[in-house]
Amino acid sequence: MSQESIPEGGRLNRAPGARSIGKVLHAMGVRPRLAVILIPYLWLVFFFLVPFGIVLKISFAKLAIAQPPFTPLFVCTDTTITSLWTCFFSGKLDLQPTLAAYGYLFHEPLYFKAYWNSVQTAFWSTIFCLLIGYPMAYGMARSSATVRNALLMLIVLPFWTSFLIRVYAWIGLLKTNGVINNILGSFGILDLLSWAGIHDGPLNMMNTQFAVYIGIIYSYLPFMILPLYANLEKMDLTLLEAANDLGCKPLKAFFLITVPLSFPGIVAGSMLVFIPAVGEYVIPELLGGSNTVMIGRELYNVFSQNRDWPSASAIAIMVLVLLVVPITFYQYYQNKESEAGK
Amino acid sequence: MAAENPAHYHTNTPWNEPGAEPYIRIDHVTKKFGDFVAVNDVSLNIYRGELFSLLGGSGCGKTTLLRMLAGFEEPTAGKIYIDGVDMAGIPPYARPTNMMFQSYALFPHMTVEANVAFGLKQDGTPANEVKERVRQILDMVQLTQFVKRKPHQLSGGQRQRVALARALVKAPKLLLLDEPLGALDKKLREATQFEIMNIQDKLGITFIVVTHDQEEAMTLSTRIGVMHQGQIVQIGTPQEIYEYPNNKHVADFIGSVNLFEGRMIEDEPDHVLIDSPEAGGKIYVDHGISASPDARVWAAIRPEKIQLTKGDRGEPYNCIKGMVKGIAYMGNLSIYLVQLDSGKEVKVTMPNQMRAAEQEIGWDDRVTLTWHANSPVLLLS
């Protein structure tokens, strides 16, 4: 659009900057609606897609004693040319990918174990979060408006403290001389267990898989509750009355009506727990000790201790391929179905 | 009673027979929510095979009464008997009632077939019997071709029929309908009204319908109970309610009505004379009422029972004068808004026997309003 066609002091009092941005966008042929969509897309491109491309690239490289510590993916066959661009245009650029890092992963049983253990841990954590979270979300959704807001506040409140600090706090609770063992000891329950021949001495909870479960379930429970709550809260309660009226007892109506209708909430909550739990690093590191092998921790070890960037990248890519891709597809079809089911 | 033949005429009138046993007995039922009295000491007898309407404005307690019959609310005081059984403490799933909800409350994740079969399955009916009964009922409401659809794939009218089928399929002793036609457009309403009446005739199930729509209540019902502020103010057949309302509220709620306040000056067994300054004349009624002389009364006259003639005519009674202030042309009839000399506005409806252009009464014409001596209904409250 030409300069003249925008009258000076136009009808809308926009900020001068906004007007010029609008002009620039308009000149580029970008309509306002597109501009709004563009912002999250650009964000994703720069902060997800580009870093992902870099990781993908590194995963096809080989470990090297160099700076950075891996072989370049693109090599110029003519060593006299130093710039990659000139090399590219002279046609002498050679792509040298290697699957060495992936080969290493497949030959090292530790990683299979770590993957399997991570998926298992994430799976059971999700199940427990669902079992604990569903009644909580249900209770919230069915309570009066004031109680509901207070409960919602309580769910969100822990986020005001750093995640790391909250996980650290569990060390103080779980360790041999920690709060739980002290309380059990002072009530004589530890003595009782010892007398009954079940267990001798303070309970050994730290650095076990149990502690990892506690940490993950505790940390991710809100992510299960909130989508479930949002779903259950908008449910039409006359459907339950209708089921009752047709001869269905309340408990059965819960399983026949409420649970199927809350399925989108169950899926959303489970995704929000399962996906980050698979790659969880902090919780197994702090609570799990050396006995628990989880893929997030292995990735960190490979990256920072072995300084093996290609293998670390390959691990990251494999997590993505093996878990995120099928889950995304599943969710895509789920969305399509629920859209049709409205 | 009026000469006009109602659309749905029931020859049996068990409520007039002294020995008849009521099928549903609501006995001094009161329901309070905190301090608010939703239903206030309601007593009501409904007979087998009736189609009874509870009619009233929003907040009159009609839905609460229905929910107490279904078992969703327990009465604060009083008893409800269905077929002689006291319903106190019996949960909704154990009652011989089914309800059709105002929102239809169809299960969105189930097909039409599954929705209708739901109630039968809860009773442990054998699978092949469930299938057969669902097929029959869907055949009756003409939904056979939609069995595999989910509720969101149906139109409003189809959903309404699914809801009706789902409530009917268990052949309950009592079917409760909450504003059954509320969400339908006029054409569909009329068709469905007759459909409901046919089904009711065919199955002989007792229906209780809650509605705020007097037209719906008039066409559907054997009897109507008009509710106001938690109480039943009048029970009667549609004709009785329309022609002989027993108070101003009922008269005004059912159809439209012109009310003239006045003072009784003559009260004989065969006639009553009322002096009404509001009407600007005397009103002569050819039936007596029992009231103290000089009492304040209201004469209620329906708009269609008033005759409009051009010019000033003089008659001693039932003859008042005014000026046409507005004409609403409705197609089959016209509504005239007449301002009387006293200032009061009166509505008169007249059938359009001639084309609009040839109407002899126009805006700002002086007119005389007359009516037959048996047309007014005298109300004391």
Q: What is the pLDDT of residues A186-228, one digit of tens each?
A: 988 888 888 888 888 888 888 889 999 999 999 999 999 999 9
| Claim to verify: residue A188 and residue A208 sit in the same structural domain | yes
| Closest approach of A258 to chain B, Cα-based (Å) | 10
Residues of chain A positioned with their CB less than 8 A from the CB of B99: 241-242, 245
| Closest approach of A230 to chain B, Cα-based (Å) | 18
| Claim to verify: residue A233 and residue A262 sit in the same structural domain | yes
Confidence (pLDDT) at A335:
75
Position A249: which residue type? K
Least confident of A47-51, A71-75, B74-78: A71-75
Which of B91, B101, B123 shows the shortest C-beta gap to A242? B101
CB B309 within 8 A of CB B370: yes
Into how many domains does chain A fold?
Answer: 2
Sign of the alpha-carbon dihedral angle for B358, B360, B365, B368: negative
Contact at CB, B108 and A341, closer than 8 angstroms: yes
| Claim to verify: residue A206 and residue A154 sit in the same structural domain | yes
* Predicted complex: ipTM over 0.85: no
Candidates 2.60.120.650, 3.40.1180.10, 2.130.10.10, 2.40.50.100; CATH matching B256-379 = 2.40.50.100
Confidence (pLDDT) at A283:
93
CB B207 within 8 A of CB B341: no
CB B221 within 8 A of CB B209: yes
User: Residue A292: inside a domain, yes or no?
Assistant: yes
How sure is the predictor about A76, in pLDDT bands with cuts at 50, 70 and 90?
Answer: confident
User: Residue A6: inside a domain, yes or no?
Assistant: no
Superfamily grouping for domain B14-249: P-loop containing nucleotide triphosphate hydrolases (3.40.50.300)
Please tell me the distance from the alpha carbon of residue A295 to that of residue A116, in angstroms, as a whole number. Answer: 9
Please tell me the distance from the alpha carbon of residue A241 to that of residue A250, in angstroms, as a whole number. Answer: 9
Contact at CB, A238 and B103, closer than 8 angstroms: yes
A positions 45-74 inside 8 Å of B (CB):
none
Confidence (pLDDT) at B114:
95
User: Residue A227: inside a domain, yes or no?
Assistant: yes
| Closest approach of B97 to chain A, Cα-based (Å) | 7
**Which residue in A has a C-alpha nearest to residue B92's C-alpha?**
A245
| Closest approach of A24 to chain B, Cα-based (Å) | 45
- Which residues in chain B show pLDDT less than 70? 1-12, 183, 355-359
A177 is written with which tokens?
A: 């001389």
Contact at CB, A260 and B109, closer than 8 angstroms: yes
A103 is written with which tokens?
A: 């080969």
Residues of chain B positioned with their CB less than 8 A from the CB of A238: 101, 103, 105
Q: By three-state DSSP, how is residue B307 classified?
A: strand
Confidence (pLDDT) at A77:
77
A42: exposed, middle or buried (C-beta count within 10 Å: 0-12, 13-18, 19+)?
A: exposed
Residues of chain A positioned with their CB less than 8 A from the CB of B92: 241, 244-245
Contact at CB, B92 and A244, closer than 8 angstroms: yes
Phi, psi of A90 (to 5 degrees): -85, -5
How sure is the predictor about A50, in pLDDT bands with cuts at 50, 70 and 90?
Answer: very high
- Is B119 in CB contact (< 8 Å) with chain A? yes
- Is B63 in CB contact (< 8 Å) with chain A? no
What tens digit of pLDDT does each residue of A4-21 get? Answer: 444 444 455 555 566 677
User: Residue A56: inside a domain, yes or no?
Assistant: no
- Is A11 in CB contact (< 8 Å) with chain B? no
Position B20: which residue type? A
Alpha carbon of A65 to those of A69, A94, A307, A308, A310: distances in Å? 6, 21, 10, 10, 12
- Is B92 in CB contact (< 8 Å) with chain A? yes
| Claim to verify: residue A91 and residue A201 sit in the same structural domain | no
A positions 212-271 inside 8 Å of B (CB):
236, 238-239, 241-250, 252, 257, 260-261
- What letter does residue B32 receive in the DSSP assignment? E
Neighbouring residues of A340: CB distance < 8 A, sequence distance ≥ 6: none
Per domain, the residue ranges of chain B are: 14-249, 256-379
User: Residue A23: inside a domain, yes or no?
Assistant: no
Confidence (pLDDT) at A12:
52
Confidence (pLDDT) at A19:
65
Neighbouring residues of A209: CB distance < 8 A, sequence distance ≥ 6: A121, A288, A291, A292
CB A101 within 8 A of CB A310: yes
Alpha carbon of B149 to those of B109, B154, B181, B183, B241: distances in Å? 10, 7, 22, 20, 42
Confidence (pLDDT) at B233:
92
Confidence (pLDDT) at A64:
83
User: Residue A84: inside a domain, yes or no?
Assistant: yes
Its domain, for residue A295, covers 102-340
User: Residue A29: inside a domain, yes or no?
Assistant: no
Contact at CB, B123 and A247, closer than 8 angstroms: yes
Please tell me the distance from the alpha carbon of residue A122 to that of residue A213, in angstroms, as a whole number. Answer: 9
**Which residue in A has a C-alpha nearest to residue B152's C-alpha?**
A342
Which of B167, B169, B149 shows the shortest CA–CA distance to B70?
A: B167
Confidence (pLDDT) at A15:
59
What tens digit of pLDDT does each residue of A237-288 get? Answer: 999 999 999 999 999 999 999 999 999 899 889 989 998 999 899 999 999 8
| Closest approach of A49 to chain B, Cα-based (Å) | 38
A145-156 and A209-233 helices, crossing angle to 10°: 150
Which of A242, A248, A250 shows the shortest C-beta gap to B105? A242
Contact at CB, A239 and B107, closer than 8 angstroms: yes
User: Residue A28: inside a domain, yes or no?
Assistant: no
Which of A236, A238, A247 shows the shortest C-beta gap to B93? A247
Contact at CB, B166 and A261, closer than 8 angstroms: no
| Claim to verify: residue A116 and residue A253 sit in the same structural domain | yes
CB B344 within 8 A of CB B336: no
Contact at CB, B98 and A245, closer than 8 angstroms: yes
Residues of chain A positioned with their CB less than 8 A from the CB of B118: 243, 246, 248
CB B241 within 8 A of CB B226: yes
Contact at CB, A342 and B152, closer than 8 angstroms: yes
A&B contacts, CB < 8 Å: 63
| Closest approach of A257 to chain B, Cα-based (Å) | 7
Confidence (pLDDT) at A6:
47
What tens digit of pLDDT does each residue of A149-175 get? Answer: 999 999 999 999 999 999 999 999 999
**Which residue in B has a C-alpha nearest to residue A244's C-alpha?**
B93
Contact at CB, B118 and A243, closer than 8 angstroms: yes
Mapping DSSP onto H, E and C, the string for chain A reads CCCCCCCCCCCCCCCHHHHHHHHHHHHCCCCHHHHHHHHHHHHHHHHHHHHHHHHHHHHCCCECCCCCCECCCEEECCCCCCCHHHHHHCCCEEECCCCHHHHHHHHCHHHHHHHHHHHHHHHHHHHHHHHHHHHHHHHHHCCCHHHHHHHHHHHHHHHHCCHHHHHHHHHHHHCCCCHHHHHHHHCCHHHHHHHCCCCCCCCCCCCCHHHHHHHHHHHHHHHHHHHHHHHHHCCCCHHHHHHHHCCCCHHHHHHHHHHHHCHHHHHHHHHHHHHHHHCCCHHHHHHHHHHCCCHHHHHHHHHHHCCCHHHHHHHHHHHHHHHHHHHHHHHHHHHHHHHHCC
Contact at CB, A247 and B170, closer than 8 angstroms: yes
- Is B177 in CB contact (< 8 Å) with chain A? no
B5: exposed, middle or buried (C-beta count within 10 Å: 0-12, 13-18, 19+)?
A: exposed
Rounded to 5°, the CA angle B322-B306-B356 comes to 80
What tens digit of pLDDT does each residue of A169-192 get? Answer: 999 999 988 999 999 989 888 888
Please tell me the distance from the alpha carbon of residue B343 to that of residue B334, in angstroms, as a whole number. Answer: 22
| Claim to verify: residue A131 and residue A277 sit in the same structural domain | yes
- Is B152 in CB contact (< 8 Å) with chain A? yes
Residues of chain B positioned with their CB less than 8 A from the CB of A249: 93
| Closest approach of A246 to chain B, Cα-based (Å) | 5
CB A284 within 8 A of CB A217: no
Residues of chain B positioned with their CB less than 8 A from the CB of A250: 93
Residues of chain B positioned with their CB less than 8 A from the CB of A244: 71-72, 91-93
| Claim to verify: residue A90 and residue A170 sit in the same structural domain | no
Contact at CB, B93 and A242, closer than 8 angstroms: no
Residues of chain A positioned with their CB less than 8 A from the CB of B166: 246
CB A221 within 8 A of CB A158: no
Task: Give the mean model confidence (pLDDT) for residues A74-92.
Answer: 77
